[in-house]
Amino acid sequence: MKKYLYLFFVILFACQPKTKDTSNLVSVSILPQKYFVEQIAGNLVQVNVLVPPGSSPHNYEVLPSQMKDLDKSKAWLQVGLLTLEDALKDKLANINKDLSIVNCSEGITPIAGTEHEEEGHEHSANEAFDPHIWLAPADVKIMAKNTLNALKVGFPQHSSAFDGNYTRFIARIDSVSAVIDQKLAQMKNRNILIFHPALAYYARQFNLSQIALEFDGKEPSPKHMKEIVDLAHAQNIHVIFIQKEFDPAFAQQLSREIDGKVVIIDPLDYSWEKQMLDITDKIAAQ
């Protein structure tokens, strides 16, 4: 009996969750930022991502368990233009006063959001600016610099390692830009039709024009749908891009009306460099 009791305690002890060492924990809002942090910090920091794969950063509500991890973090590297970041900022101020909140969009010229003020219609100030800055390599270089600075403040003992990794990452971002430039050089029709307007910063950097099916962040009205169909006919567009998180019903309906096809892209994936090139290949092939 004693033996079993002993075994019981051994098992009980082994099953106790180890207290996670969170001394090197940083939080980010979206997965591509985890990629940026890891290019600079390698495994010197642990990264907590607020918006899980498959969720939209525009309407995601952070879980209480995630609030705990956020609270334990040394810093929260924000995209800087997302609604959920604004909504949480006030809650956090009451919990962890030491959490350093870093706006990674600082230094980037923001693009106005698609939501317009309507008279007599109360509009929340959310996403007055388009938040998709992580999809243009030129802007990601600025995000990377802000990330580097924040990491050096949080973990000064690793500064020189961060600096070296950062320099190499910037060189890779430059080569991603160069490859995209080259792949898009021959494109004559520089209009891209997309369900959710995620490529505004990408379009700005690579001299493309983005046409969105979503309207004011909502599903398109029949009137807007018709306008887009007419525009697509006029511009000879036969491809509509959609992110995998979104319901493809409207995109499919549109594709039938323009005799085209729906192409899925994944701009919220962790593997940022791979996705930038994948998106580019799909645009170049349209």
Which residues form the interface with Zn ion (CB under 5 A)? 198
Q: Which is nearer to Zn ion, 143 or 170 (CB)?
A: 143
The nearest distance, CB 132 to Zn ion, in angstroms, is 6
The nearest distance, CB 61 to Zn ion, in angstroms, is 16
Check if the beta carbon of residue 87 is closer than 8 Å to that of residue 95: no
The nearest distance, CB 240 to Zn ion, in angstroms, is 16
The nearest distance, CB 114 to Zn ion, in angstroms, is 11
Check if the beta carbon of residue 181 is closer than 8 Å to that of residue 146: no
The nearest distance, CB 58 to Zn ion, in angstroms, is 5
Question: How many alpha carbons fall within 13 Å on the CB side of residue 58?
Answer: 16
**Dihedral of the alpha carbons of 119, 124, 129, 135, in degrees to the nearest 10:** -130
The nearest distance, CB 196 to Zn ion, in angstroms, is 5
Q: Which is nearer to Zn ion, 52 or 164 (CB)?
A: 52
Q: Which is nearer to Zn ion, 170 or 199 (CB)?
A: 199
**DSSP 8-class letter at 215:** B
Which residue's C-beta sits nearest to Zn ion?
198
Q: Which is nearer to Zn ion, 36 or 195 (CB)?
A: 195
**Dihedral of the alpha carbons of 175, 179, 181, 183, in degrees to the nearest 10:** 180
Nearest to 127 by CA among 142, 112, 140, 139: 112
Q: Which is nearer to Zn ion, 55 or 252 (CB)?
A: 55
Give, in degrees to the nearest 5, the angle at Cα 37 between 39 and 133. 105
Q: Which is nearer to Zn ion, 154 or 220 (CB)?
A: 220
- Token pair 């919220």 is found at 268
Question: How many alpha carbons fall within 13 Å on the CB side of residue 265?
Answer: 28
- Range 13-22, long-range pairs (CB < 8 A, 24+ positions): 22/46, 22/69, 22/72, 22/73
Q: Which is nearer to Zn ion, 131 or 154 (CB)?
A: 131
The nearest distance, CB 5 to Zn ion, in angstroms, is 57
Cα(76)–Cα(102) distance, rounded to whole angstroms?
6
Give, in degrees to the nearest 5, the angle at Cα 175 between 149 and 157. 25
